[in-house]
Structure 1
Amino acid sequence: MAQSATTSDFDSIVLQINSRNTAPVYLLHGEEGYYIDELLKRFEAMVPEADRDFNLYTFYAPETTPDTIMDACRRYPMMSDRQVVLVKEAQAVPAAQLNRLHLYVSSSTASTILVIACRGEKCKAKDLLKQIGANGGVIFDSVPLKESAVAPTISKYIKSKGLNIEQKGLAMLRDYIGADLSRIYNEVDKLAVALSSGATITPEVIEKHIGVSKDYNNFELVNALALKDARRAFTIVNHFCRDPKKNPVMVTIPTIWNYFSNLLVMLYSPDKSDAGLCAAIGRKGTWLPSDYKEGLRSYNAWKLIEIIHAIREADCRSKGVKSRMDPYDILHDLIFRILTAQGRL
């Protein structure tokens, strides 16, 4: 059995499953459903398909009782050294009901692996949590992917598939997919099927296989703003307006915010080398994209402060705060204010 632990990460639990050095009880909870789903699949796969009628129990918490689950846990596996009991949708039952499972956890059966999944929520069953921690169980908190981690996560998964990706293509995928882990892996899997090993994912490849335009996207919009290319910027916004489903304003405005707020940080960075500027904005590596170099030439501090103020206003208005304007009219107005900023507040 695994040593006593109260918290663990995804990779550590996968390692325990693969080595079959598992804890007696696992509680999987938290907002990000992808990791929980993946771990449930791996626990299920621990039982050979031919043995699943005897040694794999899958319960849905709203449709069963704690006593039924505990009875299953206390049974002995048939012609095997262990059995797996999965309890899904545990977030859908009252904490008091889930708490009853602490009676089993305090004296668990060595031949049973009990896995309780609260998908999308934190477990509120305090007695259960306490007993899991006190009896060698593992608690996994599945947290959503941070915005700053989206691009590195996509890049890492692409490399694991034996592929490479251009910087622009990475930015396109980041903006299109966002922090939805299921979509990240699904979209990259599509590309892995379509491309040969060692291939490079280009904007053209993304446009062909995923449907994101290589010319009309947030990456190109930021590039147009960096160069103060008004014609191209408004052409891109007009394209967004015609295809709002693929180009939501709620994604575009934060992208613009990240770019200009990073510019302001870089402007006041004492180290103006590429490596220093990358470090100032938390960017890995020492290569500074040309968009930032152009932006530093195009916008001074006062203009950036005025622009950031305009972006904050547009963000509020796009969410219905003191405004009933069409979101794309708000975006159009924001682009105009950025391109004509004078540095006067």
Structure 2
Amino acid sequence: MNEFQQIMAGLKNRQFKPIYFLMGEETYYIDEITNYIINNVLTEEEKGFNQTIYYGKDVDASTVVMAARRYPMMAQHQVVVVKEAQYLDKIEELQHYAAAPLSSTILVINYKYKTLDKRKKLGTILKKDNCIFEFKKLYDNQVSAWITGYLKDKQMTIDLKASMLLAESLGTDLSKIVKELDKLQVAIGAEIKHITPEHIEKNIGLSKDYNSFELQKAIINKDILKANKIIKVFSKNPKDHPIQATITVLFNYFSKLMVYYYLADKGKNNVAKELGINPYFVQDYTLGARNYSARKVVSVISILRDYDMKSKGFNNVSADMGDLLKEMLFKIMH
């Protein structure tokens, strides 16, 4: 995210690079940078003669090079964009332009879902000139903090529980998350600057009481009654609460709990650092270690793996997802 912010700061200060080779699995950043360049570098009058947008499937590298080598007409810059450049034929031929780009051209290459081999000539040139940028998917445990940071930029705050609920439900797709957050801001009104779990439940339809986050909390606390209530709701709504997603949440927790057992320094800051979690959640691991022995944690991890396979049809003849959840929960908590 820091690299994205640096790129955007440069663009807003009109400090342009001759080439922006944007690649990787996280397409949100790629689209944001590209759209900003398309919408803001040139005036509407200048765009007619000085802005060209290609698609990788419909063009070859030599055509892109020819366009990039043109000089702008009645403008300081021209913009050449190649969307879906992962389909661009003979992309390595861009090396001839990359070696000596025009300062008046801003060439934007969108190389989505893949990465360019930086050991080859084109990658070497772009890397040397700091014109190649890779955007990776966030890890699950990074999403909540990202949501908080995104809202902070908009002068808004969010409850930690609310951000965790969104992260659990929406996954790591930043474009999807941003759409939901933008819709939420419209729904709650501009005057509200702090988002709560109640806002999430009312406007997005995610229950603040019945979700994998609350199930994990119930399991940590050995609250069998609450855990079974949540599982019952999950069983009635398998599309909204897929068993694989629940298993993933629990597997991540118990895997980290296993690591927690072997930490020599169990101070709050060190645990947060080693487990890659918010310091607020260190208490969940302290309590989990009290309620589950190391041997039991190993057993739980094995149970989760077993039921992950069963949910995919292995060694499971007839049990539905609801029955599998109930069986799995019983084995974990007893």
Shift of 1:31: 1.4
In structure 2, what is the Cα distance between the partners aligned to 1:274 and 1:102? 50
TM value normalised by structure 1: 0.86
Task: Select which of 64, 67, 75 maps to 1:72.
Answer: 67
Equivalent residues of 2:23, 2:135 under 8 A apart: yes
- SS of alignment partner, residue 101 of structure 1: helix
2:7 alignment counterpart: 13
1:150 alignment counterpart: 143
Aligned pairs (5 A) from 1:237-256: 237-256=231-250
- SS of alignment partner, residue 162 of structure 1: coil
- The reply on whether 1:220 has 2:214 as its aligned counterpart is yes
- SS of alignment partner, residue 67 of structure 2: helix
Equivalent residues of 2:95, 2:122 under 8 A apart: yes
Structure 1, unaligned runs of 5 or more: 1-7, 341-345
- The CA RMSD over aligned residues, in Å, is 2.4
AA at the equivalent of 1:73:
A
1:32 alignment counterpart: 26
Aligned pairs (5 A) from 1:228-307: 228-285=222-279, 287-288=280-281, 291-307=284-300
TM value normalised by structure 2: 0.89
Work out the percentage of aligned pairs sharing the same amino acid. 37
Q: Per the alignment, do residues 292 and 200 of structure 1 end up closer, same or farther by CA in structure 2, a change over 3 Å counting?
A: farther
Shift of 1:259: 2.1
Q: Per the alignment, do residues 23 and 252 of structure 1 end up closer, same or farther by CA in structure 2, a change over 3 Å counting?
A: same
Deviations 1:264-283 (A, max 9, x none): 33344444454454344233
- The reply on whether 1:331 has 2:310 as its aligned counterpart is no
2:309 alignment counterpart: 316
In structure 1, what is the Cα distance between the partners aligned to 2:37 and 2:46? 14
In structure 2, what is the Cα distance between the partners aligned to 1:48 and 1:327? 56
In structure 1, what is the Cα distance between the partners aligned to 2:143 and 2:133? 21
Task: Select which of 155, 158, 164 maps to 1:171.
Answer: 164
Q: Per the alignment, do residues 195 and 257 of structure 1 end up closer, same or farther by CA in structure 2, a change over 3 Å counting?
A: farther
- SS of alignment partner, residue 161 of structure 2: helix
- The reply on whether 1:59 has 2:67 as its aligned counterpart is no
Q: Which moved more, 1:215-224 or 1:11-20?
A: 11-20
AA at the equivalent of 1:59:
Y
Equivalent residues of 1:91, 1:119 under 8 A apart: yes
Equivalent residues of 2:60, 2:88 under 8 A apart: no
In structure 2, what is the Cα distance between the partners aligned to 1:271 and 1:196? 45
In structure 2, what is the Cα distance between the partners aligned to 1:122 and 1:281? 28
- The reply on whether 1:187 has 2:180 as its aligned counterpart is yes
Equivalent residues of 1:222, 1:291 under 8 A apart: no
In structure 1, what is the Cα distance between the partners aligned to 2:316 and 2:299? 20
Shift of 1:188: 1.9
Q: Per the alignment, do residues 261 and 61 of structure 1 end up closer, same or farther by CA in structure 2, a change over 3 Å counting?
A: closer
In structure 2, what is the Cα distance between the partners aligned to 1:259 and 1:131? 43
